[in-house]
Chain A
Amino acid sequence: MGAYIAKRLLAAIPVLFGLTIIVFLIMAMIPGDPATAILGSYATPENVAKLNRDLGLDKSLPEQYVIWLGNLFQGDLGRSYSLNRPVLDEVLERFSATLILAGTALVLCSVFGLLAGIVSAVRQYGWADKIITLLVLMGISTPSFFLGLLLILVFAVKLRLFPASGMYAIYGGGDLPDLFHHLTLPALTLSVVATGVVARLTRTAMLEVLRQDYIRTARAKGLPERKVICKHAFKSAFVSVVPVIGIQAGFVIGGAVYIETVFQWPGIGSMLVKAIATRDLLLVQGGVLVVAAAYVLFNLLADVVQTLIDPRLR
């Protein structure tokens, strides 16, 4: 077991290296002169030359990569031109806000998605199944940024139940209840699509499992149906849904870009959008790298959870 986890961790290292290469190459592929791109078209030739030297852009691509990677290991992702502070500081600060939002959405989508999928499978072709199926389809088809606007209109503007934006109240906020108050709408919005995906796959997985011989064995033992569904069938279905939840982590973190913009959540998504608009490419690079690394770790976690449940994978 421990050996397996260690093996998985080791296997994640090349993936992380691959990420650094892709992120590095994306930035290296900027059309035209990167220094000009960073500094803008009004930069003086001296400044461009200085920046090229500073960034090591006068060296070959592999050399640049090694230098960049070396800096990365020392926690140096460069300096944001628009914010005038180290990229790493800004990214980590923003990322914690995104983690709170995405983590909550992930919990919501797991709980509701699994529940809806189980109910849907157990009541196959019944009313509950039809309603859930339709809701799931609507959820998957709704643009999350539009849903966010609608929720703001209804719950923030009309009903005044939740704040429309931000992470904490400007005056007198800052505690946990305040955070949850601000978190409710964006986390719900963010979880809708993922909930739909999880519910769909749970339903299919449950239907597949319920046809297995070992379910017949459980019934032949005289187990109550509740136990057949919740213990025997669910455990198997869960094993196949866990990696899907891992993948949903990626969609949730990615989807946070929209939701953070709509709800002005001070996370990494809204930072990226601003950074792209201001062409602060080092900030974009740092943000993308951290989020992608987090995604790899999420999937690793899903792998480990799956192995913990399924002894055949060890």
Chain B
Amino acid sequence: MTNAAISGKGRQAGKSARPGTLSLLLNNTLATAGLIILIAVCLLALAAPVLPLLNPDVTAPANRLLPIFSAGHLLGTDHLGRDLLSRLIWGTRVSLAVGVSATIIAAVFGSVLGLVAGYAGGRTDTVIMRGIDMVMAFPYILLALAIVAVLGPGLLNALYAIALVNIPFFARNIRGITLGLSRREFVDAARLSGKSPAQILFVEILPNVLPVIVITMSTTVGWMILETAGLSFLGLGAQPPQADLGSMLGEGRKILFTAPHVSIVPGVMIFVLVMAINLLGDGVRDILDPRLRAGSLTRPVARTAVLRNPADVPAPSGDENILDVRRLRTEFQIGGTVYHAVGGVDLALRQGECLGIVGESGSGKSVTAMSIMGLVPTPPGRIAGGAAYLEGEDLFAASDRRIRDLRGGSVAYVFQDPLSTLHPLFTVGNQLEEAIRTHQPLSRAQTRQKAIELLSLVRIPNPKERLTAYPHELSGGMRQRICIAMALANDARVLIADEPTTALDVTVQSQILTLMNGLRRERNAAILFITHDFGVVSAICDRIAVMYAGRIVETGKTDDILANPQHPYTAKLIECVPVLGEPERRLDAIEGRPPVVNDLPDGCAFADRCPHAQSLCRTGDIELVAAGANRSVRCLFPVNTDPST
């Protein structure tokens, strides 16, 4: 997370080449800095015995409290005249050794506990984890203090205490991973082949858990150095004449006002050391965490970026259209790769009309719908060309303010899964009233009244009581009705429904379709209906546009297309619809997969899966050509061209 900000560019560049972990790490500027500092400090600490340093413990009362940069004492001297540079390096050596040892002890014991608990499960797991919970119920530092209190002050005891209180972190993390792994096939296979639990744990599971152990170590070693230094600072760790960074700071504190450098020197060293470890740890975690690596934690902005050539904006196709999408191109840039999700789509929608966009997942139908009001997440998405006109107004050129007014006002959306599209923490009443109030200056009471009316409009029983319900308390069908009510709140002229029935079961599906169809007739709203299901299409849509690989391959009146699909893809899609009473019908869809939209083939994108494909299909750009009244098809060799067949 931390370094993503700085290293975003480096990681993107590295993505396509798939480099090793180390080069990824080196791409990360801050992590590299951390690594270099850490290596330098470690080398200094290791080389302490051979460096030309003064004896750190030799006192020289005549030279006491010399300032920094004194002759012969680069960092000055402390209250006993001991050379601070020498003490610093020797102290760093002790602090590092103690911190690293504590980390290793905690990692070993914690991992073993976690492995055993996660693998054994049942009672063993319960006992171990309850014990861990008990230890974690203590504030961390307090427990370390209590242990030191019992064992007595001393560096070794401080080390034990810090290691002990860190065991739970390892045990918890490792247990979680082990639990998941122990249900996997390769563990079953090892078990069946007669390996002992210990063999399975250490040969099969441990290697898979190792990255987690490494991440946990890299994130805790900084703490442990800090905490041991803290105990020494309090006088509970290193005892004189032995000194670590913490005890140096603790001694310096007594003369803080007269000689602050005696405290500042070891303090800065602790800070630098821990900072370097944390920088490196963050870098390691960024690389090993797949979620961060995929850049999936990028925040989408409020509106899709528009990067079209202003000289090449297509004009609207006609005045009678309420919504007019022209040559829309929407792309996603992920890493160095550009995915052409929508590659030049034309759509037109008249008042009171329902247009269905049909296609497999990944065909670009949802992206087309989201592009219209700028709801495609940026990054990684962007509108690369074309235009969308709402009653003649170019939406891609409109101000943010104007788009906000139109969203939910003139153009309303209904999305696929009503459980994830409603906010789980607000009542449906709150969300519905918010939709009303955003666009209408109504009083609180009027808003409530309107919300109740909307709920009865979408046939929700007891609307008044339902307002106080949370989304999770309602059924799927109810939730989708709420979403539709929200979309209707401001008398939208265009309703964009993105698979509104896909997440619902069949009976609820038909209720919702009937509801939407009725509302369309009552309110004369235009609907853009996205679905992959021809059964749904025939129930509600006047016209259909079939999409494949980001382009429309066939469009026409619903009845015409269902009766004789001309594009081989449409024909195949219709074949996939199950028909009641024909159980033997093939439902195994279309062989092959849709092409990946970052590398579309020349010619027809469907050619590789098409039974009728010829060599001509794989060259040049194939146009969408008229094929009868209100009908066009993007195919050189359309099927069913003779309506009599």
Where the two chains meet, the residues of A that have a C-beta atom closer than 8 Å to any C-beta of B are: 15, 18-19, 21-23, 26-27, 29-31, 121-122, 124-125, 129-130, 133, 136-138, 140-143, 145-146, 149-150, 152-153, 157, 200, 203-204, 206-208, 210-214, 216-225, 228, 232, 235-236, 239, 249-251, 253-255, 257-258, 261-262, 272-273, 275-277, 281, 284, 288, 291-292, 295-296, 299, 309-312
Contact call A235/B425, Cβ cutoff below 8 A: yes
Contact call A22/B138, Cβ cutoff below 8 A: yes
Contact call B267/A143, Cβ cutoff below 8 A: yes
A251 and B435 CA atoms in complex are apart in Å by 42
Contact call A214/B278, Cβ cutoff below 8 A: no
B contact residues around A249 at 8 Å (CB) = 139
Mask, B131-163, CB within 8 Å of A = 1, is: 001110111111101111111010000000000
CB distance from A159 to the nearest CB of B (A): 14
A contact residues around B5 at 8 Å (CB) = 124-125, 129-130, 133
B contact residues around A121 at 8 Å (CB) = 299
User: Given A137-B2, A137-B278, are A152 and B256 also a contact pair (CB < 8 Å)?
Assistant: yes
Contact call A22/B278, Cβ cutoff below 8 A: no
With an 8 A cutoff between CB atoms, is B407 at the interface?
Answer: yes
With an 8 A cutoff between CB atoms, is B253 at the interface?
Answer: yes
Contact call B275/A296, Cβ cutoff below 8 A: no
A contact residues around B472 at 8 Å (CB) = 311-312
CB distance from A12 to the nearest CB of B (A): 9
User: Given A146-B271, A153-B260, A219-B375, are A292 and B137 also a contact pair (CB < 8 Å)?
Assistant: yes
- Please name 8 further chain A to chain B contacts, defined as beta carbons within 8 Å, in addition to the given A19-B134, A133-B5, sorted by A numbering: A15-B134, A130-B5, A143-B274, A203-B1, A214-B424, A217-B486, A222-B408, A251-B139
User: Given A130-B6, A212-B420, A214-B424, are A150 and B267 also a contact pair (CB < 8 Å)?
Assistant: yes
B contact residues around A239 at 8 Å (CB) = 425
Contact call B236/A276, Cβ cutoff below 8 A: yes
A contact residues around B297 at 8 Å (CB) = 204, 207-208, 211
A309 and B470 CA atoms in complex are apart in Å by 12
Partner of A29, one of B150, B257, B303, B408: B150
A contact residues around B473 at 8 Å (CB) = 311
Chain B residue with the shortest CB-CB distance to A217? B421
Contact call A146/B439, Cβ cutoff below 8 A: no
Q: Which of A29, A142, A211, A220 has the most CB of B within 10 A?
A: A220
A contact residues around B267 at 8 Å (CB) = 143, 146, 149-150
A contact residues around B1 at 8 Å (CB) = 133, 200, 203-204
Chain B residue with the shortest CB-CB distance to A298? B139
Q: List 12 A-B contacts (CB under 8 A).
A: A19-B137, A141-B271, A143-B249, A145-B230, A145-B233, A145-B249, A203-B1, A212-B420, A257-B234, A258-B141, A281-B149, A296-B137
CB distance from B616 to the nearest CB of A (A): 42
CB distance from B384 to the nearest CB of A (A): 21
Contact call B153/A31, Cβ cutoff below 8 A: no
Q: Which of A217, A249, A250, A284 has the most CB of B within 10 A?
A: A217
A45 and B57 CA atoms in complex are apart in Å by 40
A255 and B139 CA atoms in complex are apart in Å by 9
Partner of A217, one of B151, B270, B422: B422
A140 and B281 CA atoms in complex are apart in Å by 13
User: Given A152-B256, A221-B434, are A258 and B377 also a contact pair (CB < 8 Å)?
Assistant: no
A contact residues around B271 at 8 Å (CB) = 138, 141-143, 146
With an 8 A cutoff between CB atoms, is B499 at the interface?
Answer: no
Chain B residue with the shortest CB-CB distance to A143? B270
With an 8 A cutoff between CB atoms, is B417 at the interface?
Answer: yes
Main secondary structure of the interface of A (DSSP, over half): helix
A121 and B377 CA atoms in complex are apart in Å by 15
A275 and B148 CA atoms in complex are apart in Å by 12
A contact residues around B274 at 8 Å (CB) = 141-143
Partner of A146, one of B143, B249, B298, B303: B249
A126 and B502 CA atoms in complex are apart in Å by 38
Contact call A224/B260, Cβ cutoff below 8 A: no
CB distance from B499 to the nearest CB of A (A): 12
Contact call A220/B412, Cβ cutoff below 8 A: yes
B contact residues around A19 at 8 Å (CB) = 134, 137-138
A258 and B142 CA atoms in complex are apart in Å by 11
Within 8 A of A (CB), among B256-288: 256-257, 260, 263-264, 267, 270-271, 274-275, 277-279, 282
Contact call B150/A27, Cβ cutoff below 8 A: yes
Contact call B421/A221, Cβ cutoff below 8 A: no
A contact residues around B422 at 8 Å (CB) = 214, 217
Contact call B256/A153, Cβ cutoff below 8 A: yes
User: Given A15-B137, A18-B134, A257-B142, are A224 and B404 also a contact pair (CB < 8 Å)?
Assistant: yes
Contact call A222/B405, Cβ cutoff below 8 A: yes
A contact residues around B140 at 8 Å (CB) = 250-251, 254
Contact call B135/A22, Cβ cutoff below 8 A: yes
A contact residues around B146 at 8 Å (CB) = 23, 26, 284, 288
With an 8 A cutoff between CB atoms, is B385 at the interface?
Answer: no
Contact call B150/A211, Cβ cutoff below 8 A: no
Contact call B417/A221, Cβ cutoff below 8 A: no
A contact residues around B470 at 8 Å (CB) = 311-312
CB distance from B449 to the nearest CB of A (A): 19
Contact call A258/B150, Cβ cutoff below 8 A: no
With an 8 A cutoff between CB atoms, is B415 at the interface?
Answer: yes
User: Given A153-B260, A211-B299, A239-B425, are A221 and B408 also a contact pair (CB < 8 Å)?
Assistant: yes
Contact call B151/A31, Cβ cutoff below 8 A: yes
User: Given A145-B233, A146-B271, A221-B435, are A207 and B405 also a contact pair (CB < 8 Å)?
Assistant: no
Contact call B256/A258, Cβ cutoff below 8 A: no
A262 and B415 CA atoms in complex are apart in Å by 57
Contact call B270/A292, Cβ cutoff below 8 A: no
User: Given A133-B5, A220-B408, are A276 and B139 also a contact pair (CB < 8 Å)?
Assistant: no
Chain B residue with the shortest CB-CB distance to A228? B302
Chain B residue with the shortest CB-CB distance to A283? B149
Contact call B425/A236, Cβ cutoff below 8 A: yes
B contact residues around A222 at 8 Å (CB) = 404-409, 438-439
Contact call A140/B278, Cβ cutoff below 8 A: yes
Chain B residue with the shortest CB-CB distance to A34? B150
A145 and B130 CA atoms in complex are apart in Å by 33
With an 8 A cutoff between CB atoms, is B318 at the interface?
Answer: no
User: Given A210-B299, A222-B406, A292-B138, are A277 and B235 also a contact pair (CB < 8 Å)?
Assistant: yes
A contact residues around B408 at 8 Å (CB) = 220-223
B contact residues around A295 at 8 Å (CB) = 137-139, 142
CB distance from B642 to the nearest CB of A (A): 44
Contact call A254/B423, Cβ cutoff below 8 A: no
B contact residues around A284 at 8 Å (CB) = 145-146, 149
A225 and B301 CA atoms in complex are apart in Å by 9
Partner of A210, one of B142, B300, B423: B300
A206 and B1 CA atoms in complex are apart in Å by 12
B contact residues around A208 at 8 Å (CB) = 297
Contact call B141/A257, Cβ cutoff below 8 A: yes
A63 and B420 CA atoms in complex are apart in Å by 56
CB distance from A82 to the nearest CB of B (A): 13
Chain B residue with the shortest CB-CB distance to A12? B137
Mask, B460-489, CB within 8 Å of A = 1, is: 000000000010110000000001001000
A92 and B139 CA atoms in complex are apart in Å by 18
B contact residues around A145 at 8 Å (CB) = 230, 233, 249
User: Given A130-B6, A146-B271, A153-B256, are A124 and B299 also a contact pair (CB < 8 Å)?
Assistant: yes
A contact residues around B56 at 8 Å (CB) = none
With an 8 A cutoff between CB atoms, is B229 at the interface?
Answer: yes
A185 and B420 CA atoms in complex are apart in Å by 45
Contact call A214/B233, Cβ cutoff below 8 A: no
Contact call B278/A276, Cβ cutoff below 8 A: no
Contact call A137/B137, Cβ cutoff below 8 A: no
Contact call A211/B256, Cβ cutoff below 8 A: no
Contact call A225/B234, Cβ cutoff below 8 A: no
With an 8 A cutoff between CB atoms, is B413 at the interface?
Answer: yes
A contact residues around B234 at 8 Å (CB) = 257-258, 261, 273
Contact call B421/A213, Cβ cutoff below 8 A: yes
CB distance from A280 to the nearest CB of B (A): 9
